[in-house]
Amino acid sequence: LLRPDGSIAATVFAEMSALAARTGSINLGQGFPDEDGPLEVLDAAREAIAAGRNQYPPGRGTPELLAAIARHQRRFYGLDVDPATQILVTAGATEALAASILALTEPGDEIVTFEPYYDAYAGLVALSGATLVTVPLRWPDFAPDPDELRAAVSDRTRIILVNDPHNPTGTTFDAATRDLIVELAHRHDAVILTDEVYEHLTFSEPHIPLSTLPGAGERTITVSSAGKTFNTTGWKIGWLVAPAALVSAILTVKQYLTYVSGSPFQPAIARGLDLPDSAFDRIASDLRQKRDVLTRGLQVAGFDVSVPAGSYFTVVDVGPLGFDDAEHFCAELPALAGVVGVPVTAFASTRHRSSYRSLVRFAFCKRLEVLEEASARLAAID
Ligand code: PMP
Ligand code: GLN
Distance 30 CA to ligand 2 centre (A): 5
Residue 131 belongs to what H/E stretch? strand 131-136
CA distance 42 to 2: 39
CA distance 344 to 118: 10
Nearest to 314 by CA among 322, 324, 306: 306
The answer, yes or no, to whether any atom of ligand 1 lies below 6 A from the CB of 89, is: no
**Ligand 2 atom 7 nearest Cα:** 13
Q: Which residues contact 259 (CB under 8 A, 6 or more apart)?
A: 56, 59
**Ligand 2 atom 4 nearest Cα:** 31
Handedness of CA 371, 373, 379, 382 (dihedral sign): negative
The answer, yes or no, to whether any atom of ligand 1 lies below 6 A from the CB of 238, is: yes
Q: What share of the chain is helix, strand, coil (3-state, %, to 5)?
A: 45, 15, 35
Beta sheet of 359-363, edge-to-edge order: 304-306, 313-317, 359-363, 342-343
The answer, yes or no, to whether any atom of ligand 1 lies below 6 A from the CB of 225, is: yes
Residue 118: the pLDDT is 97
3-class SS of residue 173: coil
Tell me the longest C-alpha to C-alpha distance in the chain: 59
Using one digit for the tens of pLDDT, what is the confidence trace for 196-244? 999 999 999 999 999 999 999 999 999 999 999 999 999 999 999 999 9
CA distance 102 to 130: 9
Whether residue 115 contacts residue 134, with contact meaning beta carbons closer than 8 Å, is answered with yes
The answer, yes or no, to whether any atom of ligand 1 lies below 6 A from the CB of 342, is: no
Residue 8: the pLDDT is 60
The answer, yes or no, to whether any atom of ligand 2 lies below 6 A from the CB of 167, is: yes
Written out in words, the top-level CATH class of the domain with range 39-275 is alpha beta
**Ligand 1 atom 15 nearest Cα:** 92
CATH 3.90.1150.10 is the classification of domain 12-30+278-379: yes
Residues of the chain with pLDDT under 50: 4
Mutational pocket test of ligand 1: of 225, 239, 257, the residue with most ligand atoms within 8 Å of the beta carbon: 225
**Topology agreement, domain 12-30+278-379 and domain 39-275:** no
Residue 1: the pLDDT is 55
Ligand nearest to the CA of 13: 2
Give me the residue spans of the domains in the chain: 12-30+278-379, 39-275
The answer, yes or no, to whether any atom of ligand 1 lies below 6 A from the CB of 227, is: yes
Q: Which residues contact 21 (CB under 8 A, 6 or more apart)?
A: 27
The answer, yes or no, to whether any atom of ligand 1 lies below 6 A from the CB of 261, is: no
The answer, yes or no, to whether any atom of ligand 1 lies below 6 A from the CB of 92, is: yes
Residue 202: the pLDDT is 98
Residue 332: the pLDDT is 96
Residue 306: the pLDDT is 98
Mutational pocket test of ligand 2: of 11, 12, 13, 169, the residue with most ligand atoms within 8 Å of the beta carbon: 13
Whether residue 97 contacts residue 250, with contact meaning beta carbons closer than 8 Å, is answered with no
